[in-house]
């Protein structure tokens, strides 16, 4: 998130055979982006208690100079060369607003949206949460 990816890093990842869990939602939170879009959705908010709602409405905000577009471009570059991507959020186990913007379960939906925004189809994003982890693990 601190700079655009390079062809070299993409090539190294491809050569290693590694999979990548980009945790775009965590990168966004580091840049100050909250999960408010989820708490405004009654399908999500009705399942969150106040502590988790407060956490989702906050963010880490430790690297506001980051560029979400760079993260999404890196995800697209990895996807375009066939690197296996998996959905992950790095959600904290407790609802702590200073570790905010990411919560268990709900943030997976936002991560899927980010993967689609990066260029994956909705089916490919769902595979990153289901089929790919099952195959790789």
Tokens of 75: 């995800």
Q: Give 82-101 pLDDT, tens digit per residue.
A: 999 999 999 988 898 888 99
pLDDT per position as a tens digit, 4-60: 999 999 999 999 999 999 999 999 999 999 999 999 999 999 999 999 999 999 999
22 alpha-carbon distance from chain centroid: 6
Output the CA–CA distances (angstroms, integers) from residue 35 to 8, 46, 109, in the order listed: 33, 15, 10
Count, residues in the chain? 137
Domains of the chain: 7-136 (3.20.20.140)
Map tokens 């997976």 to a residue.
108
- pLDDT attached to residue 26: 96
pLDDT for 68 equals 97
């Amino acid at each position: 998130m601190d700079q655009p990816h390079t062809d070299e890093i993409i090539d190294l990842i491809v050569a290693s055979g590694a999979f990548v869990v980009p945790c775009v939602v965590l990168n966004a939170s580091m840049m100050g982006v909250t999960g408010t879009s989820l708490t405004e959705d009654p399908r999500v908010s009705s399942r969150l208690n106040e502590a988790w709602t407060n956490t989702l409405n906050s963010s880490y905000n430790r690297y506001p100079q980051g560029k979400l577009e760079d993260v999404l471009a890196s995800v697209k570059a990895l996807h375009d060369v066939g690197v296996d991507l998996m959905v992950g959020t790095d959600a904290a186990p407790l609802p702590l607003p200073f570790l905010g913007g990411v919560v268990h379960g709900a943030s997976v939906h936002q991560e899927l949206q980010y993967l689609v925004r990066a260029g994956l189809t909705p089916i490919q994003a769902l595979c990153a949460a289901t089929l790919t982890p099952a195959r790789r693990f």
